[in-house]
Structure 1
Amino acid sequence: MTRKDDTISEERTFAALPPVRGGAFARTWWGRAWLKALEDTALDDRQVKRGRRHARSGAVGAVSVRPGRITAVVQDRDGTAYRSDVLLQELSEEEWDRLVGLAAGSAGHIAALLDREMPPHLVEDAAAVGIELLPGIGDLEPECGCEAWDHCPHTTALCYQVARLLDEDPFVLMLMRGRGERALIEALQERSSGRPAKPPEDAEEVAAAAGRRRSGVSAEEAFAGRYFLPPLPAPPVPPAAPGEPPSLDTEAAPEPGLDPTALEFLAADAAARARMLLTGVVPLGEPPLTASQDAVRLAAGAPAPWIAARLAEGSGRERAALGLAVRAWRLGGPAALAVLEEEWQPAQEALRRAETRLAEAWEASERPALRPSGPARWTVVGTDTQLRLGPDGRWWPYREEHGVWVPAGPADQDPAAALAGPAATAET
């Protein structure tokens, strides 16, 4: 294979990589494609396995990469060293011109390459016009000082080591195909700046490839790792305070059933919640609230009485029940609301653990008399206090007020600590 003009090619040398202790050699899809070409080409699986062990043990020395060839010295276990080369066909001048045109036609392709990613659509579009960037079966041609006629452990080890280099920098592959990073970037800059490009031989195939690129892929495919996703922009700096919603108080009468004041309230709540998400007060990825839960959350913001009345009606609660729900919400959000409004029956094992926890929470002389009062509930005999066990294993204190059990404090992993606040309040 011939080396192209030195003005458009170069040579790079990579220091020997440390041994690999377990795990895959290639993390990226293009690194795995490189190894698949090797494994599909080699005729003897035993040689491939031996070469993989050589690479894992750190037997591959510094790797030299230049157009059409990679080279390294690989040592056997007995210390014998062999110069090993793997040859890969370079792209022609015409193929490079067409490839640069494809890459320059998409800002995403350029951004991906500069971010050391191999854009899959670029590989697909290039293949559609007859340019194979990644090697296939038979494309990796071995030459080794051990004089093996097929891939030996030494050339195999070299290929495995190069897969690690490709993971970090796909320009290594571009150099093997005939263009170094500097020359390729300069060509992309010239082409993307408006310099007339040489028309491809088969414009219909290029147009078809571009149409496939515009059609996109499903989000499931993209996030599965098959496709390059450009880095997200830096998150915006949260404002010092939530934004004020626009006033909807206009001279024109609203449409029937539309309440401008209610819309202003919801807009203000959305702005406040957006700021909470930006500042991390509300973690991203939390389960969405139900309509009933969200009504309580909104009511906890102390809206106007008529809005609270509508929230109570919309969530199927009486005003007093909504007040209790708001009290629970302010103590512990959805978990506290569930303990107030839902009854759950612990499994026998969970119930045994809870009773053991209650027995061990106090010294024998200080332990209150507890009477089971329903599923996961224990009332302190002779008092108006109660403990409720939540599904998450935390204990919630309750107090009886006017014949109704109401939330009396935040939850605690320790039943004695949870009960201490309400008990002290009751004594005073």
Structure 2
Amino acid sequence: MAKISRTWWGQRFLEALERCTDPGRLSRGRSYSSPRRLLSFSLEGATIKAKIRGNVNPYFGVYKEPRYQVEIQLRSIPSKAWTGIIQRLGSNAGWLSRLLLNEMPDDIEEAFAASQQTLLPGSEKDLKTDCTCPDWANPCKHVAGVYYHVAHLLDHDPFLLFQLRGLSKEKLQQKLAKTPLGQALANELLPQEELTPEGVSHRYPQPNLHPVEKNLTYKAFWSGHSLPDRSGHPQEAPREGAPRPSSGVPALLIKKQGDYPPFWERDNSFIEAMEHIYQQVQAKNKESL
């Protein structure tokens, strides 16, 4: 079975929930995180709201497919505590650089511990859940399904944890940019204005343009005009034994996507998978390369 979360912080989120709740009941709700079950999901501030598709069960008198409303809140960290946390995050180059790369530092809880806070759920007091289903247990399988969906979202956006604790990604970046170390990296921390692309001359020559006669027939066009002359094309096949031009960082566009880009649904790393494919292609076409 595919893993719900593939990053260490997504896994740590689920492990923290297992410590706060019944692990067995939490795992039984995994199927409710699928798109077939999860009808809607929204994050309003620090509050998660979702609609879950339930089961028809004639034994219990449920003949019409039920829809349940789920609401989850993590305990917000007080603003006074956030001040100390931001100062510690902003004074540590390792933490700051990892956050800039959209990654969660593996020892980030140290920045919260000094303020007697935790980023991940630490106890039942950190979680407030509600579901309209008749199950008395907490979490019910519908709440557990939403937990798993959140863990999946954390793979692509670790800043979601900060938002669930009461501090949005935008405010976090603004506060980090005001710290001494953050001021030196303000251009990277704060969103930049969208730049208008400027036209540049390309490397290919302009084609030779020929005036077209008015009222030109199809027969006259196809019989009297040839294709453009491409003899001046700058890209020529390299001579045998000639050194090949360098292309900069190998597979730069692939590596910029990261290990788990949004379109990659498999459990293994996207970069590792592409490297394996490149090696196979290179081995298969070794003679022609």
Same fold (TM over 0.5): yes
Partner of 1:99: 85
Aligned pair in 2 of structure 1 residues 193, 125: CA closer, same or farther (>3 Å)? closer
Partner of 2:128: 141
Report if the CA contact (8 A) 1:90-1:178 is conserved. yes
Q: Distance in 1 between matches of 2:169 and 2:3?
A: 27
Q: Is it true that 1:38 corresponds to 2:24 in the alignment?
A: no
Aligned pair in 2 of structure 1 residues 180, 57: CA closer, same or farther (>3 Å)? closer
Runs of 4+ in 1 over 4 A off after TM superposition: none
Aligned pair in 2 of structure 1 residues 161, 194: CA closer, same or farther (>3 Å)? closer
Partner of 1:48: 26
Measured after TM superposition, the shift of residue 147 of structure 1 is 4.5
Give the % identical residues.
Answer: 31
Measured after TM superposition, the shift of residue 69 of structure 1 is 2.2
Partner of 1:191: 179
Aligned pair in 2 of structure 1 residues 68, 97: CA closer, same or farther (>3 Å)? same
Aligned pair in 2 of structure 1 residues 157, 102: CA closer, same or farther (>3 Å)? same
Q: Distance in 1 between matches of 2:48 and 2:141?
A: 15
**100-109 vs 119-128, which moves further:** 119-128
Secondary structure at the counterpart of residue 14 of structure 2: helix
Secondary structure at the counterpart of residue 3 of structure 2: coil
The code of the aligned residue for 1:117 comes to: E
Q: Distance in 1 between matches of 2:249 and 2:42?
A: 48
Measured after TM superposition, the shift of residue 108 of structure 1 is 2.4
TM-superposition CA deviations, 1:90-132 (whole Å, max 9, x none): 0101111011101100232222112221112222232244121
Give TM-score, length-normalised by structure 2. Answer: 0.55
Q: Is it true that 1:169 corresponds to 2:157 in the alignment?
A: yes
Secondary structure at the counterpart of residue 97 of structure 2: helix
Secondary structure at the counterpart of residue 121 of structure 1: coil
Task: Indicate the structure with greater helix content.
Answer: 1
Q: Distance in 2 between matches of 1:168 and 1:44?
A: 24
Partner of 2:118: 132
The code of the aligned residue for 2:80 comes to: E
Aligned pair in 2 of structure 1 residues 194, 64: CA closer, same or farther (>3 Å)? closer
Partner of 1:87: 73
User: Which structure has more RCO (C-alpha within 8 Å, separation ≥ 6)?
Assistant: 2
Give TM-score, length-normalised by structure 1. Answer: 0.38
The code of the aligned residue for 1:140 comes to: L
Structure 1 or 2, whichever has the larger Rg, is 1
Partner of 1:26: 5
Q: Is it true that 1:76 corresponds to 2:54 in the alignment?
A: yes
TM-superposition CA deviations, 1:1-36 (whole Å, max 9, x none): xxxxxxxxxxxxxxxxxxxxx211111121112111
Q: Distance in 2 between matches of 1:113 and 1:184?
A: 10
Report if the CA contact (8 A) 2:121-2:127 is conserved. yes
Report if the CA contact (8 A) 1:86-1:142 is conserved. yes
Report if the CA contact (8 A) 1:38-1:140 is conserved. no
Measured after TM superposition, the shift of residue 192 of structure 1 is 3.0
